[in-house]
Amino acid sequence: MPEPAQPVPEVPKTRIAITFFVAVGLSLLQWGLRLIGFNVNLYFGAFILAVAFGCMAYGFWISEKAAKWRLSIRVITIIMALVVYSFFIVRQIVTQYRLDHPPAVANTTLQESKPAEPLAKPQQQPRTPSAPTLQKRRPQAMPLQQENKPAAFVPTEVYMDCQMGVLPFTVPPHSSANLIPLNERHFGNLRSGFLEVVNRDDKDMVWPDLAKINSGGFNAGRVFYKCDISNHATTNLIDVVIPLAVKFGDGKTLIYSPIVSPLDAQTIFSFYMVNDCPISATLVRTANEKIEVQVFGEPNRRSVPLYRSHRSPMDKVRIFFPSTVNWTGNACE
């Protein structure tokens, strides 16, 4: 005689509610972290993060296990979780707010001193023609020479924002796209420069073509990043040198320094980065990143901060998976 089938235990509705609210909370948390970037609504992102914490706290409150706890223990647990949550999230929101609202830069340029106004001359008594008087000539004072002090540097504000995509990307008609193929051999030989993808047709062009994309089968190396370099200041830049630290596989980290020239005020320069070889590559951000710029009117380049978006802690590392297709045809070995 076959044994009767065991009844499937019913999942408690409370556990289903817990799973639902925790899932909603984590989803809203990820969305909120991306919403507090510099090009979206910071306040709406903070609201989403608050809702995410509320969903997770409510899921804990109604859980079957937590229901057995005393009310005071549950309240203390949620307050402790709120303190830890606020330490990481609120700190990031405050940091982003300070980046979006930098303090006004004092105008330190030298102003030419105005000459002192002459003192009013006292009224002279009328003279009689029979009594001429002698006039004394006062020695003229030598004008003071102003000190030749150098003018203050013009403030700069250059941002870099990178967004992930999947090949192919589109090049508009009669235009070009700037590309940096991640290739260890290419980096070691050139150290700078862009590969220009030109579209001379009257319609959009995709790069690379679909035949090359399909030739590699499943290819995780189709991931690319489009980076925008924007000048938010009011002065034109003759050129901008941006050092990029890229680590290939488990090997050493190489510095690639593309030059953007020029970068006028309130303009954006875009370029693409894609892995060109069957070895992983990682674009690593360093603390207090610096770039070199030459401001219009200044004789030399100088080092200034590079500002980045802060949507998520994962933005500090950009991972490029190995590619089964060599997109540009440049040798990797």
66 shares its domain with 187? no
Residue 330 within any structural domain of the chain = no
Residues in Cβ contact with 161 at an 8 Å cutoff, skipping those fewer than 6 apart: 37, 38, 39, 227, 228, 230, 308, 309
Reading the chain (333 residues) residue by residue, the pLDDT tens digits are 555 555 545 546 666 676 667 667 766 666 566 555 544 466 667 777 778 778 877 777 776 555 566 777 778 888 888 888 777 777 777 766 666 555 544 443 334 444 444 444 545 555 555 444 445 445 454 444 444 444 467 788 899 998 899 999 999 999 999 999 998 887 767 778 899 999 999 999 999 999 999 887 889 999 999 999 999 998 899 999 999 989 998 888 888 999 999 999 999 999 999 999 999 999 888 777 899 999 988 889 999 999 887 766 667 778 899 999 999 988 887
pLDDT the model gives residue 179: 95
92 shares its domain with 231? no
User: pLDDT per residue over 278-323, tens digit each?
Assistant: 999 998 887 778 999 999 888 899 999 998 877 666 677 788 999 9
Residue 175 within any structural domain of the chain = yes
pLDDT the model gives residue 113: 41
Residue 145 within any structural domain of the chain = no
Parent domain of 40: 13-100
53 shares its domain with 167? no
315 shares its domain with 177? yes
165 shares its domain with 279? yes
pLDDT the model gives residue 171: 95
Calculate ∠ Cα 243-286-35, nearest 5°: 105
Residue 5 within any structural domain of the chain = no
Number of domains comprising the chain: 2
Please choose, from the candidates 248, 246, 170, the residue with its C-alpha nearest in 3D space to the C-alpha of residue 204.
170
The first and second tokens of residue 106, run together, are 């004092």
Residues 172 and 178: their CA atoms lie apart, in Å, by 13
pLDDT the model gives residue 239: 92
178 shares its domain with 67? no
Could you tell me the pTM of the whole model? 0.55
91 shares its domain with 215? no
Residues 263 and 292: their CA atoms lie apart, in Å, by 13
Residue 272 within any structural domain of the chain = yes
Residue 205 within any structural domain of the chain = yes
183 shares its domain with 90? no
170 shares its domain with 306? yes
65 shares its domain with 199? no
| Residue in the structure block whose two tokens are 């510095």 | 255
- Chain mean position to CA 88: 19
Residues in Cβ contact with 193 at an 8 Å cutoff, skipping those fewer than 6 apart: 258, 259
pLDDT the model gives residue 134: 44
Question: 100, 116, 136: which is the final residue of a domain?
Answer: 100
| Residue in the structure block whose two tokens are 């909370």 | 25
Residues 137 and 236: their CA atoms lie apart, in Å, by 54
Residues 253 and 39: their CA atoms lie apart, in Å, by 30
Please choose, from the candidates 293, 288, 280, the residue with its C-alpha nearest in 3D space to the C-alpha of residue 246.
280
Residues 122 and 171: their CA atoms lie apart, in Å, by 79
Question: 72, 100, 128: which is the final residue of a domain?
Answer: 100
| Residue in the structure block whose two tokens are 């710029």 | 293
Tell me phi and psi for residue 80, to 5 degrees: -65, -40
18 shares its domain with 167? no
Question: 68, 100, 132: which is the final residue of a domain?
Answer: 100
pLDDT the model gives residue 123: 55
Residue 72 within any structural domain of the chain = yes
85 shares its domain with 216? no
Residue 50 within any structural domain of the chain = yes
- Chain mean position to CA 192: 21
Residues 231 and 223: their CA atoms lie apart, in Å, by 27
